[in-house]
Structure formats: structure tokens, C-alpha cells
Structure 1
Amino acid sequence: MRYVLLRHNCPPDYRDGPHWDLMLERDGVLVTWSLLELPAPEEAVAATRLADHRVAYLDYEGPVSGDRGEVSRVAQGELVWSKYSAQEACVRLLSGDLAGELTLTLADDDRWTLAHSPATHSLGG
């Protein structure tokens, strides 16, 4: 399975300003959250759960339908799911700029928190 992080630049009059869309492949769709800021290592950021998106967004860059701006890929790679429930989603990102562990936790209503623990690599043995 794969993931993608898209930068979504919206038109000035659109209800949402520029943000990032984190999309995680699962069961033939992309489970998606909107982020106003990128996660720093070991710091939680706010996330908003969006409707599932089509898997075509894994490879798409360009205009978004309905005059909602355009998206460009910031990061992508492979993932493995550790946990998925209505309150929590945990994945291990195996490759790409975000490699490491991502944990999304439902705070209340549709507000989530996203924590990122980067992968650590050791040299030698």
C-alpha cells in the first residue's frame, strides 16, 4: 500500500486556505486528513478527517475539480497499517521523506491529532 502528502493551494476566495492533504491507501480508497501544518518530529499537530479520496490521487498533480485550486506532491512512499479504528489510525511509512511512524488520534468530533516519529537508521552493526 502507498501514501501521498499533497500540498493543496486553494483560490483566495475558497473557504479553506492552503493546506496539506495526507492520504493513506486502505481497502481501495485513500483515507484522508487535512493538515494546516506539517508534523515536526515528536510533536502533534491538528488534523481534520476528510472524505475518502480516489486512489488516483496517489499519482496526481494538477488542478482540483470545482475550481478548488491545485495539488502538488510533497512526499510519497509505501506504508503498512498497524491499527485502524474510528478513533485511531497508526501506520508505518516504509519509504519517502516521511518514513517512520504516524499516529492519528481522534480528539473530539472531527478534530484529530497527528504525531510523527521519524524512522531511525543505524550504520554498522
Structure 2
Amino acid sequence: MARFVILEHRWEGVHWDFMLEAGEALRTWALEAPIAFGVAIPARALADHRLAYLEYEGEISRGRGTVRRLDRGTYTAEVWTEDLIRVVLQGDQVRGMAELRRSDIGPSISPLRWIFRLEGKVD
């Protein structure tokens, strides 16, 4: 099964990195708020990250802040397209259906802008 991780990233404020293992990298989104059941959270697509972040906590090189792992586990992809990703998460704290949908909210459509929503359980 593929793995996921949720990191609290403190750098120029705070955001939450949601990372999904995809081959030899982690597809990554920066969420603007902590994950909560049934709440739509604005997200920004980031460059793929190294698999090392599945296990890493601490200082990030070149002064890019610190990360603290909030949850990790496995996932099964239900839908994986250019505009919609729907996965079933089985984490230590987060379990349920997570959806990332490309968003057209805002002044211009951006491939970086997404909405994250979890339908399931957060302990």
C-alpha cells in the first residue's frame, strides 16, 4: 500500500503539508488550516518531495523552518486524475475518505490551487 504523512510546517507562519506517496516521490499540498472532518480547506500544490519526509521531523535545510509529524499511515487511491484525487486514508489519527479537488476560486484559475476535504474520522 502507498503511504501518506501529515506534517505541521513552521516557516513564515504555519501550514500543514499533506503528502501522498506516488512512485519515488511524495505529491505534496500545503493546507492553510489543520485537517478537520467535513471542513473544506484551501490548499496549494507544491513540488514533489523526497520520500524521506515520510519519517522526518526537525529542521529543514537552508532555513526553511521545521516540520513535526502529526499523522502517517497508508492510503488507497479511489480516483486520481489531473483535477481530482480521492483516497481512503488509514492513519494513526486520520481515517476516512480524503478529497483534493482543483479549485477555480479566486481571481485566476491556477493549477496550484486546490480544496482539501476529509470525510471520516480525526482523533
Q: Does 1:67 align with 2:63?
A: yes
TM-score, normalising length: structure 1? 0.86
Instruction: Check conservation: 2:8, 2:15, Cα contact below 8 A.
Output: yes
Q: Does 1:46 align with 2:42?
A: yes
4+ residue runs of structure 1 moved beyond 2 angstroms? none
Question: Who wins on radius of gyration, i.e. which is larger?
Answer: 1
**How far did 1:95 drift?**
2.8
Q: Does 1:33 align with 2:29?
A: yes
Cα distance between partner residues in 2 of 1:48 and 1:100:
21
In the other structure, the counterpart of 2:9 is: 8
Identity %: 37
**How far did 1:54 drift?**
0.5
In the other structure, the counterpart of 2:103 is: 107
| SS of equivalent to 2:94 | coil
Structure 1 unaligned segments of length 5 or more: list them: 120-125
Cα distance between partner residues in 2 of 1:8 and 1:111:
18
Q: What count of residue pairs does the alignment treat as equivalent?
A: 114
Let me know the Cα RMSD of the aligned residues: 1.1
Cα distance between partner residues in 1 of 2:4 and 2:116:
15
